[in-house]
Amino acid sequence: MISSQHTVTTTPSVVVAAAESWQTIYLHVTGNGTVYLGNSTVTSSNGMQTEKSAVPFQFILPAGETLYAVVATATEDLRVLRPSAS
Protein backbone atom coordinates (compact mmCIF):
# COMPACT_ATOMS: atom_id res chain seq x y z
CA MET A 1 0.00 0.00 0.00
CA ILE A 2 1.07 3.56 -0.70
CA SER A 3 0.07 6.39 1.61
CA SER A 4 -0.04 10.04 0.60
CA GLN A 5 -1.06 13.40 2.02
CA HIS A 6 -2.92 16.04 0.02
CA THR A 7 -3.69 19.62 0.93
CA VAL A 8 -7.05 20.07 -0.75
CA THR A 9 -7.90 23.60 -1.93
CA THR A 10 -10.77 25.31 -3.72
CA THR A 11 -9.32 24.17 -7.07
CA PRO A 12 -9.99 20.51 -7.99
CA SER A 13 -6.81 18.44 -7.73
CA VAL A 14 -5.93 14.81 -8.42
CA VAL A 15 -5.75 12.67 -5.28
CA VAL A 16 -5.68 9.26 -7.01
CA ALA A 17 -4.53 8.84 -10.60
CA ALA A 18 -6.18 6.40 -12.99
CA ALA A 19 -4.95 2.81 -12.98
CA GLU A 20 -5.45 -0.16 -15.31
CA SER A 21 -7.49 -2.05 -12.72
CA TRP A 22 -10.03 -1.25 -10.00
CA GLN A 23 -8.48 0.17 -6.82
CA THR A 24 -9.66 -0.03 -3.24
CA ILE A 25 -8.85 3.38 -1.77
CA TYR A 26 -9.00 4.47 1.86
CA LEU A 27 -9.64 8.18 2.47
CA HIS A 28 -9.35 10.14 5.71
CA VAL A 29 -10.08 13.83 6.20
CA THR A 30 -8.00 14.69 9.28
CA GLY A 31 -9.43 18.13 10.03
CA ASN A 32 -12.84 19.60 10.71
CA GLY A 33 -13.61 20.65 7.14
CA THR A 34 -15.49 18.88 4.39
CA VAL A 35 -13.80 17.51 1.28
CA TYR A 36 -15.80 16.85 -1.89
CA LEU A 37 -14.81 14.05 -4.28
CA GLY A 38 -15.52 13.59 -7.97
CA ASN A 39 -14.10 14.13 -11.44
CA SER A 40 -12.07 17.06 -12.78
CA THR A 41 -15.10 19.38 -12.52
CA VAL A 42 -15.94 18.53 -8.90
CA THR A 43 -17.36 21.34 -6.76
CA SER A 44 -18.93 21.63 -3.32
CA SER A 45 -22.30 21.53 -5.13
CA ASN A 46 -21.82 18.33 -7.14
CA GLY A 47 -19.14 16.35 -5.29
CA MET A 48 -19.51 13.41 -2.94
CA GLN A 49 -19.28 14.92 0.54
CA THR A 50 -16.94 13.40 3.12
CA GLU A 51 -17.52 13.38 6.86
CA LYS A 52 -15.67 15.90 9.01
CA SER A 53 -12.98 14.27 11.19
CA ALA A 54 -14.51 10.86 10.52
CA VAL A 55 -12.73 7.53 10.52
CA PRO A 56 -11.23 6.56 7.17
CA PHE A 57 -13.70 5.23 4.65
CA GLN A 58 -13.27 2.76 1.84
CA PHE A 59 -13.79 3.89 -1.74
CA ILE A 60 -13.72 1.68 -4.86
CA LEU A 61 -12.22 3.50 -7.84
CA PRO A 62 -13.02 1.90 -11.22
CA ALA A 63 -10.26 1.18 -13.73
CA GLY A 64 -9.34 4.19 -15.82
CA GLU A 65 -10.95 6.71 -13.44
CA THR A 66 -9.09 9.57 -11.74
CA LEU A 67 -10.29 10.86 -8.35
CA TYR A 68 -10.27 14.60 -7.68
CA ALA A 69 -10.93 16.51 -4.46
CA VAL A 70 -11.94 20.08 -3.62
CA VAL A 71 -13.10 22.15 -0.62
CA ALA A 72 -15.61 25.02 -0.53
CA THR A 73 -13.29 27.39 1.37
CA ALA A 74 -9.77 27.45 2.82
CA THR A 75 -7.84 24.14 2.74
CA GLU A 76 -8.17 20.67 4.25
CA ASP A 77 -5.80 17.78 4.88
CA LEU A 78 -6.71 14.52 3.12
CA ARG A 79 -4.84 11.23 3.62
CA VAL A 80 -5.04 8.51 0.97
CA LEU A 81 -4.04 4.86 1.18
CA ARG A 82 -4.05 2.97 -2.13
CA PRO A 83 -2.62 -0.25 -3.59
CA SER A 84 1.06 -0.24 -4.56
CA ALA A 85 0.34 -2.34 -7.65
CA SER A 86 -2.41 -1.47 -10.09
Amino acid letter at 77? Answer: D
Q: What is the pLDDT of residues 35-50, one digit of tens each?
A: 999 999 999 999 999 9
First-to-last alpha carbon distance for the chain, in angstroms, is 10
Q: What is the pLDDT of residues 46-79, one digit of tens each?
A: 999 997 767 788 989 999 999 999 999 999 999 9
pTM for the model stands at 0.93
Domains in the chain (CATH in brackets) are 2-82 (2.60.120.770)
pLDDT at position 5: 97
Mean pLDDT of 22-41: 94
Whether 32 has a pLDDT exceeding 70, the answer reads yes
- The residues with which 24 forms a beta bridge, in sequence order, are 60
Cα 45 from chain centre: 16
